[in-house]
């Protein structure tokens, strides 16, 4: 598998392949378990087999990116060029044609505390190119002040809140230079 980029000096970026799906799902579930241990219900559906972002299908479409330090999966992110039903529910019907949607950013707890989250977000908005797209949109649970502050520090602009049957989410957007 050939790297498509790197973050930090020793972490390479790869586009996930179908054979990576199980590792990706395991990382997501481990992160959901860690969140639960911290008192958060964020990503709780993953613990019950519910995946609102259809991760296996996203891997097949080439929308999942892995961050590897040697053989250790240190993190991942999903970058969707088409809005999902989830995104339409939160963002409404406007602006989808020019947007990439960032979902499922997560860091392996074994590699946490090294600034990987910010490095992955910065890579997503400048290290990869999507023709015809000029912005990244994302949402995060409104009640997680630390996560909301993180996206603001990464240069994302708050675009309001939206509520669905899961919770209330804050929406963020960043103009990028994908062209």
| Stretch 120-141: mean pLDDT | 92
| Stretch 148-165: mean pLDDT | 96
Q: How confident is the model at residue 1 (pLDDT cuts 50, 70, 90)?
A: low
Burial (CB count <10 Å: 0-12, 13-18, 19+), residue 37:
exposed
Q: What mean pLDDT is reported for the chain?
A: 93
Whether the per-residue pLDDT at 122 is higher than 70: the answer is yes
Whether the per-residue pLDDT at 118 is higher than 90: the answer is yes
Q: How confident is the model at residue 127 (pLDDT cuts 50, 70, 90)?
A: confident
Which residue in this structure is represented by tokens 């790297």? 3
The answer to whether 13 and 4 are in contact (CB under 8 A) is yes
For residue 136, the model assigns a pLDDT of 96
| Stretch 62-74: mean pLDDT | 96
Whether the per-residue pLDDT at 28 is higher than 90: the answer is yes
For residue 179, the model assigns a pLDDT of 44
Query: Rounded to whole angstroms, how far apart are CA atoms 179 and 130?
Result: 7
Q: How confident is the model at residue 40 (pLDDT cuts 50, 70, 90)?
A: confident
| Stretch 153-168: mean pLDDT | 94
| Stretch 160-170: mean pLDDT | 93
Whether the per-residue pLDDT at 9 is higher than 80: the answer is yes
Q: How confident is the model at residue 63 (pLDDT cuts 50, 70, 90)?
A: very high
């Amino acid at each position: 598998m050939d790297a498509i980029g790197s973050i930090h000096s020793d972490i390479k970026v790869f586009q996930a392949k179908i054979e990576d799906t199980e590792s990706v799902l395991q990382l997501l579930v481990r992160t959901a378990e860690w969140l639960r241990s911290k008192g958060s219900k964020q990503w709780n559906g993953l613990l019950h087999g519910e995946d609102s972002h259809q991760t296996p299908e996203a891997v097949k479409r080439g929308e999942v990116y892995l961050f590897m330090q040697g053989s250790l999966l240190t993190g991942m992110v999903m970058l969707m060029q088409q809005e999902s039903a989830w995104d339409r529910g939160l963002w409404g019907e406007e602006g989808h044609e020019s947007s990439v949607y960032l979902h499922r950013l997560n860091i392996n707890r074994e590699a946490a505390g090294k600034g990987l989250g910010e490095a992955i977000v910065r890579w997503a908005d400048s290290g990869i190119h999507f023709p015809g797209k000029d912005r990244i949109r994302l949402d995060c649970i409104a009640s997680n002040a630390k996560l909301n502050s993180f996206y603001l520090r990464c240069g994302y602009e708050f675009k309001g809140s939206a509520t669905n049957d899961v919770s209330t989410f804050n929406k963020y957007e960043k103009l990028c230079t994908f062209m």
